Amino acid sequence: MWEKDWRKDAWRELNTPWDIVVIGGGITGAGIFRRAVAEGYRTLLVEAGDFSSGTSSRSSKLIHGGFRYLRNKQYNVTRESVREREWLLREARHLVTPLGFIMPCPPDRHTAQQFAIGVVLYDLLAPKWQHYRLSREKILSICPQLDKPALSKGFLYYDAAMDDARVVLRVIQEAVAAGGTALNYAKVESLLRTADGRVCGVALHDFSHSALGSLEVKAGVVINAAGPCSDEIRAELVAAPRLRKLRGSHLVFPAARLPLPHAVTLLHPDDRRAMFAIPWEGCTLVGTTDLDHKFSLHAGEPFTTPAEVEYILRAADATFPSLHLSRADVISSFSGLRPVVNTGNPDPSKESREHVVWEENGLVSITGGKFTTFRIMAEKALQTAVQQLSRKVDFSTRKRYFERLQGLDVVKGLPDEDASYLLGRYGDETLRLLQAAREGENEHIAELPNIWSELRWAARTGAVEHLDDLLLRRVRLGMLLPDGALPEIDHIRRIVQPELGWEDQHWAAEEVRYRKIYNRFYSPAPTGY
């Protein structure tokens, strides 16, 4: 998609006025961008770092209603979310895929009854009917890892899984293919204002290797979708902060140590918070925590603190005692910040996940919500934003966000499972990706669903500026292979260095940067700030 010199071409276009500028290349900004372009608005998306490098590459990778929100009586969030899940399963085929959840019941009858009502309600809200009551024997026949004396009965219900960074990228790429412009490493440094103080554009700085400098971009309306940084953008308008940044962390285990046929819903032994163990991309994630983030956003990426590592390990050990999981089994960790609207609830997990859209001096801000509900969020934000434009659109009619894919049979010579995996992530580019491969590159990387040629393709067309873009977000080897995939770095280098066009010195500097990022924020015991 982004072939050589794309960035310079895009930068040259910026001087002319835009209908809409979207700040933030996470899922919220991506959704707004996609829908605005589909409606024919001249739209620019700008992202300070890499696409999806904020919260949107650090989620639990679920497209879900949020069963636990039922417990908190957040019925609206659950209803909206399960309906969006059903839409995404249909529209983003192969990228959003069904995932079963085993939910063992705690021994007390009251909670078990709540669970029984919950699975029925969850399906009725969708609406669909796909849940099952499981005896202890049935649970153990499906998932013997759950064996412990306290296990009684449980339920199996269905949500969906995804690769968050790849969903963001596909939504952005769909919008670019439809005529929009998106730039990563282009940071909004300040807002442009008219004489009467209304926001009328942004001052941008290019932080890519192309070092294209700074530029003022004029727009009919600016939408702030900067996630956890939204308050920082609003601060220029002297607007009071509205966000509560809640950190959530996960540990990643190799599937060989924690093999799961379905995800498992678990209650933490210390505080009975709902958590998940989730099979993902050939590994298993366990998380998440939910804590007020006390560090400054400028300190660096969020990371899993030693106390969180212990907390997650205790949950894993209590749920799968026969596996004796320990710190030594963890491959990696990752941590993200939920941009939740602050209502001051003493319990972070009870803070509402509803989204909020509002306007201040012409700046439209949107925050809260979930990855799952990005379409609804996009349409609500645009509904408010287009009030400032001369052409208004009715957003109640459905538009496609993901173009229809060809059938699996277009990918010849690969098992259906692999064809589905690639089509979901690369859409119509899949055949070109496979054809670009050199010998042996269409083979799997270790036990992962990924193939080596994904790296070549990402380096050639994926707007990769840094090694961490490639290894943490385009192809997620940094989280899925031991030691951040560094033992494979020479092999990776042979494939991608010529595509990236980096001199040896440049490569060496990128390797140092990547090691530092991995050790500080993604290793099994991140060193942090």
Could you list the residues that contact ligand FAD (CB under 6 A)? 23-29, 46-49, 53-56, 58-62, 64, 187-188, 225-229, 233, 248, 288, 336-339, 369-372
What region, left, alpha or beta, does residue 358 occupy, with left being phi > 0 and alpha being psi -120 to 50 degrees?
Answer: beta
Least separation, in Å, of the C-beta of 506 and ligand FAD? 23
Which residue type occupies 296?
S
- Give the residue with the Cβ less far from ligand FAD, 183 or 419: 183
Encode 31-69 in three state secondary structure: HHHHHHHHCCCCEEEECCCCCCCCHHHCCCCEECCCHHH
- Give the residue with the Cβ less far from ligand FAD, 188 or 386: 188
Decide if 448 contacts 26 (C-beta within 8 A). Answer: no
Least separation, in Å, of the C-beta of 34 and ligand FAD? 13
Pairwise CA distance, residues 233 & 247, whole Å: 20
Element (H, E) at 160: strand 154-161
- Give the residue with the Cβ less far from ligand FAD, 60 or 442: 60
- Identify whether 98 is preceded by a cis peptide bond (ω within 30 of 0): no
Least separation, in Å, of the C-beta of 430 and ligand FAD? 25
Least separation, in Å, of the C-beta of 280 and ligand FAD? 10
- Give the residue with the Cβ less far from ligand FAD, 286 or 458: 286
Least separation, in Å, of the C-beta of 71 and ligand FAD? 16
Pairwise CA distance, residues 236 & 233, whole Å: 6
Pairwise CA distance, residues 148 & 136, whole Å: 10
- Give the residue with the Cβ less far from ligand FAD, 29 or 419: 29
Least separation, in Å, of the C-beta of 56 and ligand FAD? 3
Least separation, in Å, of the C-beta of 171 and ligand FAD? 11
Least separation, in Å, of the C-beta of 320 and ligand FAD? 21
- Give the residue with the Cβ less far from ligand FAD, 276 or 452: 276
- Give the residue with the Cβ less far from ligand FAD, 339 or 524: 339
Pairwise CA distance, residues 247 & 301, whole Å: 11
User: What residues contact 391, with CB distance under 8 A and at least 6 apart?
Assistant: 41
- In 350-496, where do the E strands start and end? 355-360, 363-368
- Give the residue with the Cβ less far from ligand FAD, 48 or 500: 48
Least separation, in Å, of the C-beta of 237 and ligand FAD? 14
Decide if 58 contacts 165 (C-beta within 8 A). Answer: no
- Give the residue with the Cβ less far from ligand FAD, 223 or 492: 223
Nearest Cα to Cα of residue 69 among 371, 335, 352, 296? 352
User: What DSSP string describes 278-304?
Assistant: EEETTEEEEE---EE--S-GGG-S---
Pairwise CA distance, residues 378 & 399, whole Å: 12
- Give the residue with the Cβ less far from ligand FAD, 379 or 499: 379
Phi and psi for 271 in degrees, rounded to 5? Answer: -130, 5
User: What residues contact 206, with CB distance under 8 A and at least 6 apart?
Assistant: 7, 11, 183, 185, 186, 212, 213, 214, 215
Least separation, in Å, of the C-beta of 92 and ligand FAD? 13
